[in-house]
Amino acid sequence: MNLLQVSINRIFALSRREELEDDINAELRFHLEMRAQENIERGMAPAEAVLSATRRFGNLNAVKDACRDIRGGGLLEVLRQDLRFALRILRKDRLFTLTAILALAFSIGLTAAVFSVANTVLFRPLPYDHPEQIMALWNRDSHFPERRYPFSYPDFKDIQAASKSFATLGAFMVSNFVMNADSGEASWVRAAHVTPNVFPLLGVEPTLGRTFLESENGPGNRVVVISYDLWQRAFRGGADVIGKSLTLDEQKYEIVGVMPRNFRFPFENQPAEIWTTTSTDAEAHYNGAPPLSTERAAHYMNLVGRLKPGAKRSEAEAELQAAVLRAAAKYPKTNDLFDGANVTPLLNDLTDRAKPVLLTLLAAAFCVLAVACVNITNLRLARATTRQKEIAIRSALGAGSGRILRQFLAESLLIALAVGFLAVLVSVAANVLFVALLPPQFPRSFELFPDWRLLAVGGILTLISSILVGLAPAWHSARSYPAPVLNDCSFVCTETAKGRRIRSLLVVVEIVLSFMLLASTYLLVRNLWLMKHLNPGFNSDNLFTAQLSFPDERDPKIFTRIEDFYRHLRERVSKLPGVESSSAASVLPLTGLAPISQFQLVGEKEKLPQPRTLLSIVTPNYFNTMAIPLIKGRDFTESDRRSSKLVVIVNQSFVRKFLPNQNPLGRVLKSRMSDDMNGPTEKEIVGVVGDVKIRDLTTEGEPEIYFPYAQSIIFSDMTLIARTKLSPNAILPDIRRLVAEADKGVALTRPCLMSEYLSSAVAQPRLDMTVMSIFATMVVILTGLGVYGLMAYVVGQRQHEIGIRFALGAQKGVVFKLIMKQGLRLVVWALGLGIVCTLLLVQVLRPFLSATGGGEFAAVCWVTLFLSIIGWLACWLPARRAAQLDPLVALGQRPAQLGH
């Protein structure tokens, strides 16, 4: 028989143990009967014959064992025994087993989920060819350091010509189209305008048809490539889609290609479904103005490039910076806004702002896992010492230290299996929960669903934790000596001073980690609460909003069309029952999307570089609708038209920054909108309004200029705003009707309440707070258990000593105080250390606590109080039990119950 046959036999032997047993018994019994028979034939009496046969055979059981060993399951059989025994032991001490499994499973599950998310967002390569070579290029302005600016088309051409580090350099711009279905229904579709070299740059081939030719980048070309999803949705995946046409913004575009499924460019949460060339902007803009693509002042093109093999990012960046500065010097009127540039790998460009959050959450998750492992190890060590008697007996009966070690490992294995199974469930649930809490602008959230990687991480963590947790007690127990334990010499301490110090140190570590996590949670909760109560500068109750998208028309009559549309619409919407007032604006507060304008105050020395502010274009009644206070002067009215005097309204921060201690009304400023043909025009300040939070809830004091819509129609897409008396959502059908009546070509999208914008503004802090509080809760529970476990163990160890003290006349109170002192000393040390660590930690947390300064002192005080109570409680219970010990039990004269 070869090895395979032997192994198979062994496995069969495992499953048919009874049969094997019978087999061996039968064979040996036969032998004995034959021998007895022979003895009888020789003349012995039957009883003596049997006896003689048995005696001659020797130790029947030993032979049976030997045969069973040879033919039986071998190693597997032993393992099976170990596992069965381990199961029994674990079942006996249910509380410990359950605690261990739950604690480990939850910590591993949470850690795996956070790890998997962090890994996907920060490290998974983008789905393009050699994605590490693809870079994003940006203009920078040191006055607004956190902003990145796109380029103008002429700038792009210059950079492309001068570039040495890039193999390919392409440009793209995101916009939207109003797509008309055959039924005439208008819907809104997101699109990207790309230079034809972008698709080859990304290295992704279309699944049907082709991408753009260089010749198609000129005016008059109306070609599109569509996404897989759009192909399925609008054309049912038919293979004849190439050559068909789509109506976008009331123009026909020919479909030349379809991109593969899961292709996404730009790599944003909201995918573009249509790609077209940049030529569509190379056409006459409104009013016979020169095409945008020749406008050096129109910075709206995002640049993306692929590095030459061997080229370095830093070189490319230096090159770009030189080019930007050259352009600023050569074209000061349009380019002096920029004084720097960035070249960033595309992946980092997308994900860097999520890095601090994810790394911190990961650190916290590992803290929790560490605490759980430490805890379980401590508890197991304690239990191992109480099981000494059992180990000693087994050792005396002949179990080698290898066998005993295997026993403990078998217990660890069982726990690991249970933990692994549960951890998988927890990690999937945690992943789903995490994604649900994510703020909408969180990068790559569309890729965050549970997959095999999550399970793999969970599996590895389970393995590592189980090894760590199982090793220490196994090693410790295998080294114990049976004799003293069996002799019940319980004053022989098998625990060394070093061992006790290590265990105490572990508990201190637990308490310190708890402290830090609790303090972080406190600060994050406070942050969220404060943020929710920050004044956004307007009233967001019952405020309905919706985006209106106009088809881009080249018709010079577009101005009147748009102006009429908005005027009629506002009139009719205001007349709807249930609507208090309505208005429209180019951009909403809290979205951070306000564009920037340069201006110059007339009557002052010309400043270079020109000062900049945020700008917003609004219709009359905007401030009233939003409940933004009008501090001085007047609102825009219907009489502020294109032909009348040009006016603007500024906010208080503007006055504070640029016109301190002066009357702003009547002052004139010069600024240039991209439809001002002849350079900057003069506009008079006619009003001052209160500040609103434009970028996010916490950035204050940003100056802003408001322009009347009628005098600056460059944004045909505006946001309609209406304040309703009661339920804002109820007016949506009416609004749709009115919009369609006013102009059939206009698409209405993204109807939502202003309060939802407010809610997503706090989404990030809410996510941080929720995850942290889950971690903190777990850690506090574990630490409480840890301290309790340690103290209970200490009481067990000192039992004999306590018995002696009682015997010598100590009162219960003395014993109680003794134990308490030992425990509390540990807790106090740990809290002290915790305070120090937390104060250091707070520096790390600062970027998350945007709404607060201070609060650290309060955090430290509250957490110290809370943990002291928990620590005190965890010491009190064992101390009380020690004080109530029966002295005879403590002295070992009367046996206590085994196991506790």
Partner 1 sequence: MVKPNRKLVQGTLDMLILKALCHGAQHGYGIARRIEQLAADALIVEEGSLYPALHRIEQQGWIKSKWKVSDKNQQARYYSLTAAGRKQLEQEEASWIRLSDAIRKVLVSA
- Residues lying near partner 1 in the complex (CB under 8 A) are found at 1-2, 6, 9, 23, 26-28, 30-31, 33-35, 56-59, 62-63, 66-67, 70-71
Between CA 513 and CA 534 the distance in angstroms is 31
Segment holding 863, helix H or strand E: helix 856-883
Closest to partner 1 by CB, 57 or 481: 57
Task: Annotate 793-832 with DSSP letters as a single string.
Answer: HHHHHTHHHHHHHHHTT--HHHHHHHHHHHHHHHHHHHHH
Between CA 446 and CA 48 the distance in angstroms is 86
- Report the sign of the C-alpha dihedral through residues 428, 430, 432, 434, in that order: negative
Between CA 771 and CA 114 the distance in angstroms is 10
Closest to partner 1 by CB, 27 or 700: 27
Closest to partner 1 by CB, 70 or 726: 70
Q: At what angle do helices 452-478 and 94-123 cross, to 10 degrees?
A: 140
Best CA proximity match to 620, nearest among 660, 572, 579, 570: 570
Note whether 817 and 410 are within 8 A (CB).
no
Q: Compute the least distance from the CB of residue 15 to partner 1, in Å.
A: 18
- Report the sign of the C-alpha dihedral through residues 407, 408, 411, 417, in that order: negative
Between CA 249 and CA 549 the distance in angstroms is 10
Note whether 409 and 820 are within 8 A (CB).
no
Q: Compute the least distance from the CB of residue 406 to partner 1, in Å.
A: 24
Task: Annotate 444-464 with DSSP letters as a single string.
Answer: TGGG-S--HHHHHHHHHHHHH
Best CA proximity match to 224, nearest among 275, 261, 260, 148: 275
Q: At what angle do helices 60-71 and 17-41 cross, to 10 degrees?
A: 140
How many Å is the maximal CA-CA distance in the chain?
141
Tokens for 883? 């004080």
Burial class of residue 230 (count of CB atoms within 10 Å of its CB; 0-12, 13-18, 19+):
buried
Between CA 398 and CA 448 the distance in angstroms is 54
Best CA proximity match to 865, nearest among 524, 375, 515: 515
- β 208-209/251-258 pair status: antiparallel
Q: Compute the least distance from the CB of residue 461 to partner 1, in Å.
A: 42
Q: Compute the least distance from the CB of residue 53 to partner 1, in Å.
A: 9
Segment holding 340, helix H or strand E: strand 340-345
Q: How far is CA 106 from the centre of its chain?
A: 17
Residue corresponding to tokens 């059981």: 61
Closest to partner 1 by CB, 62 or 95: 62
Q: How far is CA 679 from the centre of its chain?
A: 47
Note whether 235 and 241 are within 8 A (CB).
yes
Q: Compute the least distance from the CB of residue 71 to partner 1, in Å.
A: 5
Note whether 295 and 157 are within 8 A (CB).
no
Between CA 826 and CA 821 the distance in angstroms is 9
Q: Compute the least distance from the CB of residue 97 to partner 1, in Å.
A: 39
b/e for 57-80, b at 16 or more Cβ within 10 A? Answer: eeeeeeeeeebbeeebbbeebebe
Tokens for 356? 């601090």
Between CA 482 and CA 486 the distance in angstroms is 6
Tokens for 846? 């600062």
Q: Which 8-state DSSP code applies to residue 710?
A: G
Note whether 115 and 450 are within 8 A (CB).
no
CA–CA distances in Å: residue 72 to residues 23, 64, 218, 673, 840: 11, 11, 83, 91, 62
Count CA atoms closer than 13 A to 578's CA, side-chain side.
12
Residue corresponding to tokens 């390569």: 125
- β 681-689/630-633 pair status: antiparallel
Single-letter code of the amino acid located at 360:
T
Q: Compute the least distance from the CB of residue 7 to partner 1, in Å.
A: 11
Q: Compute the least distance from the CB of residue 399 to partner 1, in Å.
A: 22
Q: Compute the least distance from the CB of residue 47 to partner 1, in Å.
A: 20
